[in-house]
Structures are given as structure tokens and as C-alpha cells.
Amino acid sequence: MTDQTGRVAAVSASSSHTFSKPTHTSITLIEGLGVDGDAHNGVTVKHRSRVRQDPTQINLRQVHLIHSELFDELSGMGFSVGAGEMGENVTTGGIDLLGLPTGTRLHLGDEAVVEVTGLRNPCSQIDGLEPGLMDATLGRDANGNVVRKAGIMSIVIAGGVVNTNDEIRAVLPAEPHIAMEPV
């Protein structure tokens, strides 16, 4: 796998713990915290189920990214899902998010950089958006292993403004590459 480039298709944020997030023309990433004004912003976990388990856990889920190609795939299955509706902060185009190794750095626009921490583990809340959507975001590979398609999670390495249509540049870590696991 080599470095890749793509585009920011949309950006989203919500100050409350809603499943879907409204889209914006830009968001601001804050180093070590996440998206300015987003409910998941913080050094420690903000995802409600994880806070109940251990509120002191380091937040490896500061910025959630989903590839817009997933929406096309879901549309072919009869679902109507758009940017921000699955809770992501950054909707991408042209980057193989699910194929990136842990530690990949995504340069978003001129300043912001996030580091990939792992896969989003979809939960049943997705079915509240459309019944059956959770199953549609899960698949199986040739070996029968579960494939999670609902995006990836990251932490903010360098803050900055991220705009819709900004370029994304994926820079892979040194080998050996480590496949993403759910975080």
C-alpha cells in the first residue's frame, strides 16, 4: 500500500450526544482533543457507553471519519444515508479508509493532521437511523472474519480548520503495518 490522496466530502459536528451530526462548511480540530464544539471532544472518552465503563480511558475516538463510497454502497442496498447521519465528523472521498494501517496520518487541508487509531465498532443505534443498517455496515471477508465498514477513528495530532473540498493526504507509518482493530 502507498500514500493516497482524496478529498473532504463533508464535515460535521454536534455539541450534544446525538447519533447524527449536522454538516458545516468547516470544522476546527484541536490538537489532543478533537473537533471544537463536538460532544466527543476531550482527552478522555466521551462516548457515553465507554464513559460508563471507565471515564478515565484515553480518547482514541476524537475524530470519526467515514468514506462517502459507503453511502453509495448502502444506496445500492436500498438505504438513504448522507454525510453526518452516521455520526462522523469527516466524510471522505477517494481514500481507502478501511485499508489504512493503524498509525496512518491523514493531513486534512493545510494544517490539520489526525492519526488513525482503529475501526469504529458499529452499535445498534445505527438501526435507529434505518432498520437493518447495522447489518449492512458489517460484512465478512473470504476467511469469514467480520469486516466493519462504518468508518475509522482518529486522534488530532495537529489542529487546524478543515473545510469541505479540502485535500486529504494519507501518509502511511513505517512498516511493518498493523491492521486496524475496533477502538
pLDDT per residue of the chain (183 residues) written in tens, 0 to 9: 788 999 999 999 999 999 999 999 999 999 999 999 999 999 999 988 888 899 999 999 999 999 999 999 999 999 999 999 999 999 999 999 999 999 999 999 999 999 999 999 888 889 999 999 999 999 999 999 999 999 999 999 999 999 999 999 999 999 999 999 999
Grid cell listed for 49? 457507553
Q: How many domains does the chain have?
A: 1
In a domain, 176, yes or no: no
In a domain, 182, yes or no: no
In a domain, 181, yes or no: no
Strands (E) across the chain are located at 4-12, 23-24, 26-30, 34-35, 63-67, 90-93, 105-108, 112-119, 138-140, 146-148, 152-158, 160-163, 167-171
In a domain, 97, yes or no: yes
- Residue 158: domain span: 4-171
In a domain, 177, yes or no: no
- Whichever domain contains 140, its CATH number is 2.40.33.20
Distance CA 46, CA 8 (A): 24
Check residue 8 and give its pLDDT. 98
